[in-house]
Amino acid sequence: MRKNSWKYMLGLAAIAGLFLLTACGQKNTSEKKEEKDKITVVATFYPMYDFAKNVVGDAGDVQMLIPAGTEPHDYEPSAKDIAKITDADALVYNSNELETWVKDTIENVDQKQVAVVEAAKNIHLMSGEAHEEDTDEAHDHDHDHDHEHELDPHVWLDPVLAQKEVETIRDALVKKFPEKKAEFEKNTSAYLQKLADLDQEYQEAFANAKNKTFVTQHAAFGYLAKQYGLTQESIAGISPDQEPSPSRLAELKKYIKENNVKVIYFEESASSKVANTLASETGVELAVLNPLEGITTKEQEQGENYLSVMKANLEALQKTIK
């Protein structure tokens, strides 16, 4: 009886072990299939990363190519970065005007394998002249660029144009991965509503403003200014590292005094030396206006994203736009 009992127990243990092995095998197979089904998207810098992430959701892994806190205007991809693009299912970037290196890089990428998505392709870019008066004069986006930043690439800072970029990313990814269409459309719809709400907040904040001019470190907010009927006066041009001429500084000092400007906006990711000097010489306050070009890893870990930074920008702008 005891002998039979042991045989019975051993038999049960063997069956249980076999069941566990089978279950584990099925789980591993299931996990592998899920990983295989997930897509990999490489996005150039933070706004493109956040937009792509909100489209893709749980359907894939979105990676940021340009390291957090790095200025995208000056970036050049390394061999490792190019390999990352080549191995991805899709590359999302803003425009050939900002990421000037993309055109040459994708010549060596199999675009049947890697979907190359230019988020700003359906947006006409404004002139990149540092202090362009006529912001209504838009230039055709397919213009043959003769030099860096002939056109202004900062479309993501306008919540309305940000929606267009998100829609372009969605459409390109749906075309590449039609089997994920429902998921991409659901994710995008939810995010577009948040961007529409952000636009509404900006509209309401500036609808009855009497003073609509703001002074900023570099000319990144032209699209935002145009969208909400504001006027941007910038110390530097489209590139944040561009140094203003002595005559431009003299012009700004005069402008600040004559227009009773109370705040000069600078950005934490670029040198604020000139903004500091100008604020000191004119006796005005300094405040941060974030172009979202180099949001840091720490800020992301603290929960900062496109929406939260744009809301902080709105709050900051209200110090001077009244």
Domain that holds residue 60: 38-201
Distant-in-sequence, close-in-space partners of 61: CB < 8 Å, separation ≥ 6: 38, 39, 40, 41
Q: What is the pLDDT averaged over residues 299-317? A: 95
Tokens of 178: 């039609």
What is the model's pLDDT at position 149? 56
Q: What is the DSSP letter of 124?
A: P
Nearest-CA neighbor of 321 among 217, 221, 205? 205
Q: What is the pLDDT averaged over residues 36-48? A: 92
Reported as a single tens digit per residue, the pLDDT across 171-191 is 999 999 999 999 999 999 999
CA of residue 115 relative to chain centroid, distance: 18
Q: What CATH number has the domain bearing residue 287? A: 3.40.50.1980
Q: Are residues 180 and 218 in the same domain?
A: no
Phi, psi angles (nearest 5°) of residue 30: -65, -45
Asked if the model's pLDDT at residue 2 lies above 70, the reply is no
Reported as a single tens digit per residue, the pLDDT across 14-40 is 555 555 555 555 445 444 444 557 999
Domain assignment present for 184: yes
Domain assignment present for 174: yes
Reported as a single tens digit per residue, the pLDDT across 94-116 is 999 999 999 999 998 999 999 99
Q: Which amino acid is at 95?
A: S
Q: Are residues 191 and 224 in the same domain?
A: no
- Say how far apart CA 21 and CA 67 lie, in whole Å: 42
Strand partners, 125: 139
- Say how far apart CA 105 and CA 48 lie, in whole Å: 18
User: In the 3-class helix/strand/coil scheme, how is 219-232 assigned residue by residue?
Assistant: CCCHHHHHHCCCEE
Q: Are residues 150 and 58 in the same domain?
A: yes
Q: Which amino acid is at 26?
A: Q
Q: How many domains does the chain have?
A: 2
Nearest-CA neighbor of 154 among 128, 129, 132? 128
- Going by their DSSP bridges, the two strands 60-64 and 138-139 should be labelled as unpaired
Maximum pairwise Cα distance, the chain: 106
